Structure 1
């Protein structure tokens, strides 16, 4: 029964006969047309009916004996949960993943087991570094997180819209995030902090170049790609190891906004991307993405000539071509945003048999940090919240109690392992595959930045990249400007010289130390 109820929460939006999501601005009108009359008698949270006077007026009446206001006011001041430190503002929807190509020779996880097989999914798109109140079209890295509700449990692929991450050592994570937040004294965004961090850790430069390029502001979430950034270790049907990088490519094409376009949209609609996604799904346009993989054998890893597990590098597509796997389709809007999107909890540690995860240190740190973040925001039972429940499989654990929801709390089954009383037991793998251990040396991203600048950008794209970089560098101290110019010159002489000319060609526009 539980599995049926949870599935209905995910699927019910598609069953509305009036297609109530045509226009997000008219959602309430659609709801009224669908329901025709009040849906029921107003009650307290305990289920007792509320009398008209109690819900209408409190003047000259005892407040403490009014069950309506005693429900409403205490709840109001407790309605907010902690905002995500990263990925705070987002939008999402529900749909399915369908296998279109047989890849069991690459990965034999059950969700890939047969062409035509469908798996329910949830996707959350987000801005990464800024607060929930920010405009959707702000220049920022974006998140692209997919939860697959498989028969073997939930698989979460947590991706970004840039193909290479900004650093590979997790010790840098807290500092990088804080450099993009608000100055603790002024409570304002301070690009001195950002450029100070970037120029002190130049391995960030490939991700930063992507951010300031034309790829930095998607035209819509429907036109945004996703890259889980890690090289995942997987097992094929012959029990052999393979290594893959996943790619989500929008079927509507990758499209982006220029800086001025984004500014104009932000002034008119700060929730532009969220509104566009909701409207598209509600209109039945069903945004879709092709899931593909780049594949390496253990021999390929040894002979690559560079560290294929380095998350600050992309794998060259000419050497490791994309192999199609299937389609992700969104066809259902959330019925309630807070319940289904704000509480959607994604963790890279959510893996399934035959997908072992990334072998790098960043992935290891994310196994801890994402789960810890969900414990803090949603409580230790966050996987019992309906949208996070792995409803295609039965869950048997020894975890009990804690903050709600606890559902049936394991009923009357034994509460410890091992036991002699028929509690759940672990399965025995026929041949256990351990995660590959690797050595991670120093980063070297400059060669890929040069490749991107020289061979993947047109002259117009180079010009816009420099304008976008200079737009923020103009706001920082002279010492940081000079350090940035030096860094960019060491990466690519033309890039550094053009930034230097744009910054210092008119000395009156530069900041003084």
Structure 2
């Protein structure tokens, strides 16, 4: 091998990796396959990098509350907890920052996790999202690399602009989320003053078996409030626990935060011919195409009694569905169906679902899972640990949680399916053009402040090209701001 050539990327067993950008799927746009050893090894290895802190979303706060249905959505889903106007379901929510560790400040510029557990009568339903409707990447194979680029550098022990912006330079699809992150909503004033989004696309199925794809939007009833970069830096130094303090004190004094849930609903047969890939996590569905439809309201009215037991040990897995709700072919969602549950099995143990905050409340778990570290389900002589059996143990329902969907094509690593208007930059440009002149100025300053610290000119140029592709003015203004900082 010459000095100028690069070594071949391999699995941990030394086998060469043919494609490190696209997971193996059942045809173009189809669900991911369990046989993708590289994806599973990469995600499983990534989940085990930290003990015992969460690798991502480590810094968090939580609260209990309830969800109340205000509008009839039974035409679109048979989910019991959504089946009657006025029905209330107990909930637990965990808010979090993403990139920093457990000791990081609340007022950092970072997306915020918005993870919600519904304790329904048909089992726990976990909806795992963020305070942004999009994300940086659209294939889970790139997730460990993305997070590595945003976390502390192995040598310097701190976040490095070179790493952050180098990854984004090689991920043009991140331009939309970078524009969100570097804009005014990049630092919420508190957890109460931000929206929450399911971000992914999910499947709803009604009682007749009709299938719809949906996106969740939790709109804060407190109004959007954000901090500038200077305000965030000052607050991080004076009160690193600012968001935790705000949430705790507001609930304690009876000022209960609330959100109104809306959904966008797409009939399943419209997905294939939609002008861009509706399962691409880097894109939103324009409200003009699929308007917001109100569902209900989320209210937080009780603080945890023990932060470690109830917030730190809370576990959310997007594969916890209930009848009437299921996954979509969204690649990032498909990867997270495995990765989140696997992370909890590693971090908290295989019996983490028996912890009070994670256990069902409106029903009970009844299965053949046994033993393992900290097992509390001490089944005795009158129960069997296998199925089927002749001794009256629990049996399968025969009713799938959601409707089956057809798949076609050959297995292999495929790029995301291309629709007529698919583009990595258009929606980022749309977001930029929606901003006021003052908002644009702050966005440009925030981007330039980080990009000007990058040591490689080629990395700077690649990122500038992304902003220019989104909007020529956007690119010109960022470049001018970067050059001014470099010269100063």
Instruction: Give me the TM-score of the superposition, normalised by structure 1.
Output: 0.81
Determine the C-alpha separation between the residues in 2 that align with 1:506 and 1:398.
Answer: 62
For the 8 Å contact 2:173–2:424, the answer to whether it is kept is: yes
For the 8 Å contact 1:233–1:435, the answer to whether it is kept is: no
Tell me what 2:417 maps to: 441
Alignment of 1:55-454 (within 5 A): 82-409=52-379, 412-429=382-399, 433-435=403-405, 437=407, 440-441=416-417, 444-454=423-433
For the 8 Å contact 1:152–1:353, the answer to whether it is kept is: yes
Tell me what 2:444 maps to: 466
Tell me what 2:5 maps to: none
Determine the C-alpha separation between the residues in 2 that align with 1:159 and 1:325.
Answer: 17
Q: CA deviation at 1:437?
A: 4.1
Matched residue of 1:143: which SS? strand
For the 8 Å contact 2:322–2:401, the answer to whether it is kept is: no
More helix by share: 1
User: Which ranges in structure 1 are unaligned for 5 or more consecutive residues?
Assistant: 1-79
Matched residue of 2:197: which SS? coil
Q: CA deviation at 1:436?
A: 5.3
Matched residue of 1:486: which SS? helix
- Go from structure 1 to structure 2 and tell me whether the alpha carbon gap of 1:424 and 1:214 turns closer, same or farther (over 3 Å shift): same
Determine the C-alpha separation between the residues in 2 that align with 1:124 and 1:353.
Answer: 24
For the 8 Å contact 1:87–1:126, the answer to whether it is kept is: yes
Determine the C-alpha separation between the residues in 1 that align with 2:177 and 2:86.
Answer: 36
- Go from structure 1 to structure 2 and tell me whether the alpha carbon gap of 1:436 and 1:262 turns closer, same or farther (over 3 Å shift): farther
Determine the C-alpha separation between the residues in 1 that align with 2:358 and 2:219.
Answer: 25
Determine the C-alpha separation between the residues in 2 that align with 1:486 and 1:389.
Answer: 49
Q: CA deviation at 1:238?
A: 2.5
Q: Which moved more, 1:284-293 or 1:401-410?
A: 401-410
- Go from structure 1 to structure 2 and tell me whether the alpha carbon gap of 1:365 and 1:430 turns closer, same or farther (over 3 Å shift): closer
Q: CA deviation at 1:469?
A: 0.3
Q: CA deviation at 1:431?
A: 10
For the 8 Å contact 1:97–1:121, the answer to whether it is kept is: yes
Tell me what 1:486 maps to: 465
Q: CA deviation at 1:490?
A: 2.5
Matched residue of 1:317: which SS? coil
For the 8 Å contact 1:156–1:351, the answer to whether it is kept is: yes
Which of 470, 474, 478 pairs up with 1:495?
Answer: 474
Q: CA deviation at 1:193?
A: 0.4
2:427 is aligned with 1:457: no
Determine the C-alpha separation between the residues in 2 that align with 1:184 and 1:298.
Answer: 45
For the 8 Å contact 1:359–1:435, the answer to whether it is kept is: no
For the 8 Å contact 1:287–1:330, the answer to whether it is kept is: yes
Determine the C-alpha separation between the residues in 2 that align with 1:410 and 1:269.
Answer: 51
For the 8 Å contact 2:323–2:400, the answer to whether it is kept is: no
Q: CA deviation at 1:487?
A: 2.5
Instruction: Give me the TM-score of the superposition, normalised by structure 2.
Output: 0.85
The higher relative CO (CA closer than 8 Å, separation ≥ 6) is in 2
Tell me what 2:18 maps to: none
| Count of aligned residue pairs for this structure pair | 429
Q: CA deviation at 1:432?
A: 7.1
Matched residue of 1:408: which SS? coil
Determine the C-alpha separation between the residues in 2 that align with 1:322 and 1:453.
Answer: 22
Determine the C-alpha separation between the residues in 1 that align with 2:80 and 2:364.
Answer: 16
- Go from structure 1 to structure 2 and tell me whether the alpha carbon gap of 1:115 and 1:453 turns closer, same or farther (over 3 Å shift): same
Determine the C-alpha separation between the residues in 1 that align with 2:441 and 2:283.
Answer: 23
Q: CA deviation at 1:483?
A: 2.4
Q: CA deviation at 1:304?
A: 2.4
User: Which ranges in structure 2 are unaligned for 5 or more consecutive residues?
Assistant: 1-49, 409-413
For the 8 Å contact 1:334–1:341, the answer to whether it is kept is: yes
Determine the C-alpha separation between the residues in 2 that align with 1:168 and 1:430.
Answer: 27
